[in-house]
């Protein structure tokens, strides 16, 4: 199978590319720079110059492949809502390229878009994008499905971890270094689900290969790690005190990240595991932090 991957040089996308190649598939990866193209070619894939703001490059890449995996997203949180609406447009474009065929389109969402006071599952649906901007991605996927596109949604947890991670956990560590304390909010009982990037990559591959009837998947290896535990092991690694912060003190410590540091979104992947035969095997988040991978 020949698979078009957006964000092919990214943290998650590059793991998916490697996983697909090892399984014997061909990969066409969209890249924005010559450096990224060179790395992709060296890995054994083909490079497709383009970017998310170039509909023609998106259409050309999708049209030449048997499946599309969309992982690219602009993580500039200063214009988060605009980035979410841009993602809606990208999915609409990819959907048009695949319309009238059974070629699958896998889009990437997050379990954090779901709002509940319980363990969420693949059956849960996010509120509208007027309340949760990132839900625009799933709205676009559902719209494409309504047009007959063979669409799948893969939800990632707040922490997709592993060597080379530049996401939420390194941000939390950076704040700890700057503030000279590793902090959590209140009792720190809010839970973050997590998955290793290599385990997540396997899930994407299995969806492409099996194309089951189930349409939504959770790439979640650990259902919910108390944020206090994450902060504690960060404090140990950085040799800093671990302390609770509340109110204005919490906002001062975490800044714009306060919402994410307080996020409580435990998530199940039980149905994904049954449907795909997916069994995560990589180390958990706490084990990786304790091993020094993030130091």
Q: What is the pLDDT along the chain (295 residues), one digit of tens a residue?
A: 999 999 999 999 999 999 999 999 999 999 989 999 999 999 999 999 999 999 999 999 999 999 999 999 987 877 889 999 999 999 999 999 999 899 999 999 999 999 778 899 999 999 999 999 999 999 999 999 999 999 999 999 999 999 999 899 999 999 999 999 999 999 999 999 999 999 999 999 999 999 999 999 999 999 999 999 999 999 999 999 999 999 999 999 999 999 999 999 999 999 999 999 999 999 999 999 999 999 8
Distance from C-alpha of 247 to C-alpha of 44, rounded to nearest angstrom: 50
Rounded to two decimals, what is the model's pTM?
A: 0.96
2-159+194-222: CATH topology is Rossmann fold (3.40.50)
CATH 3.40.50.720 domain extents, the chain: 2-159+194-222
Cβ contacts of 8 within 8 Å, gap of 6 or more: 14, 16, 17, 27, 29, 30, 31, 36, 40, 45, 71
């Amino acid at each position: 199978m020949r698979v078009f991957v957006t964000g092919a040089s990214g943290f998650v996308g590059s793991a998916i590319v490697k996983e697909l190649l090892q399984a014997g598939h061909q990969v066409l990866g969209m890249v924005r720079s010559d450096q990224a193209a060179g790395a992709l070619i060296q890995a054994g894939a083909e490079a497709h110059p383009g970017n998310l703001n170039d509909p023609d490059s998106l259409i050309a890449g999708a049209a030449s492949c048997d499946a599309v995996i969309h992982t690219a997203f602009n993580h500039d949180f200063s214009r988060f809502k605009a980035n979410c609406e841009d993602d809606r447009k990208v999915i609409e474009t990819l959907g048009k390229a695949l319309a009238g065929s059974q070629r699958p389109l896998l889009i990437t969402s997050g379990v954090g878009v779901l709002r509940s006071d319980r363990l969420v599952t693949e059956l849960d649906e996010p509120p509208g994008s007027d309340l949760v901007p990132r839900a625009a991605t799933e709205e676009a996927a559902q719209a494409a499905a309504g047009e007959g596109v063979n669409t799948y949604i893969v939800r990632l947890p707040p922490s997709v971890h592993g060597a080379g991670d530049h996401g939420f956990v390194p941000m939390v560590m950076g704040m700890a270094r700057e503030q000279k304390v590793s902090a959590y909010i209140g009792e720190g009982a809010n839970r973050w689900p997590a998955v290793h990037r290599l385990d997540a990559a396997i899930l994407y591959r299995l969806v492409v290969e099996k194309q089951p009837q189930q349409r939504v998947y959770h790439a979640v290896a650990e259902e919910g790690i108390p944020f206090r535990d994450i902060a504690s092991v960060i404090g140990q690694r950085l040799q800093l005190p671990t302390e609770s912060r509340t109110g204005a003190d919490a906002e001062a410590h975490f800044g714009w990240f306060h919402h994410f540091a307080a996020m409580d979104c435990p998530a199940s992947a039980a149905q994904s595991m049954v449907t795909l035969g997916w069994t995560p095997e990589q180390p958990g988040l706490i084990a990786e932090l304790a091993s020094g991978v993030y130091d």
